[in-house]
Amino acid sequence: MKKQNRIFKFRVWDKSIKDWVKEDGKPITTINLEYWNDEKYIIQQFVGNLDRDGKEIFEGDICRDDFNGEKYYMFYYAGSFVLKTFKSDDSFPHFKQIFWPDKIVQYIKVVGNILENLNYGRQIV
């Protein structure tokens, strides 16, 4: 049986205070999912890779593709993490499939999160 190298990390957004749940000033990344299973919280998963600057990429992160200048947001769809353009609508979503750790990562930079940057979040939700 092949050993899994995947690191499972999560972060938690508290809707009531509109901020990440923190411990020692940093967002928590190791959680008991049963404890946080409440409508008050939004849980986002680490996608398993880093952006071009070494920053962890999570669901909901807004990423800029420096190759073409487009902005996307990261989400889980049909068994994998994908980037979706802000231009797309639900009738015809435009996805950019992520294959790790190939060449695409060298162009991707995390520039925000849809929960922190509400002007983007309103376009999506």
- pLDDT tens per residue across span 111-120: 999 888 765 5
User: CATH number of the domain at 10-124, please?
Assistant: 2.30.30.290
39: which 2 tokens? Answer: 């409508």
Whether residue 23 has pLDDT greater than 70:
yes
The residues spanned by each domain of the chain are: 10-124
pLDDT at 105: 67
pLDDT at 109: 92
Whether residue 41 has pLDDT greater than 50:
yes
- pLDDT tens per residue across span 77-113: 777 787 777 665 554 455 555 544 455 667 889 999 9
N-term to C-term CA, the chain: 40
45: which 2 tokens? Answer: 């998963």
